[in-house]
Amino acid sequence: DQQVKQNSPSLSVQEGRISILNCDYTNSMFDYFLWYKKYPAEGPTFLISISSIKDKNEDGRFTVFLNKSAKHLSLHIVPSQPGDSAVYFCAASAGDMRFGAGTRLTVKP
């Protein structure tokens, strides 16, 4: 039973536009949420995180939004760049980390 779900396996956007990646979770005990980015032949790397006491965290072009009542978080990338093309994993933690299935983002020039 997956506690963290990314329902879109892939997303394609044009360079310069906004990319929105979504994630839903079921465990109300999760209190910390993260996004990881993975390029082929490499391990995932940490991108951005948010604590459950916040509803938004911004780092440059990347913003994560958390809606606790809906158990939903999203990652916004503005503007999207071709180098952002990768698989993005949503993760949630209540001590131990649980990951979603990933969304493959393709940013077209």
Q: Which residues bind another protein (CB under 8 A)?
A: 2, 4, 6, 9, 32, 34, 36, 41-46, 49, 89, 91, 93, 95-102
68/79 with CB nearer another protein: 68
Report, in Å, the least distance between residue 70 CB and another protein. 21
Q: Report, in Å, the least distance between residue 16 CB and another protein.
A: 29
From the CB of 6, what's the least distance to another protein, in Å? Answer: 7
* Residues 6 or more apart whose Cβ sits within 8 Å of residue 53: none
Closest CA to 90 of 13, 27, 17, 41: 27
**CA-CA-CA-CA torsion sign (38, 81, 47, 27):** negative
Give the nearer residue to another protein in terms of CB position, either 2 or 81: 2
DSSP 78: S
Nearest Cα neighbor of 24 from 89, 63, 74 is: 74
Residue whose CB is less far from another protein, 18 or 39 = 39
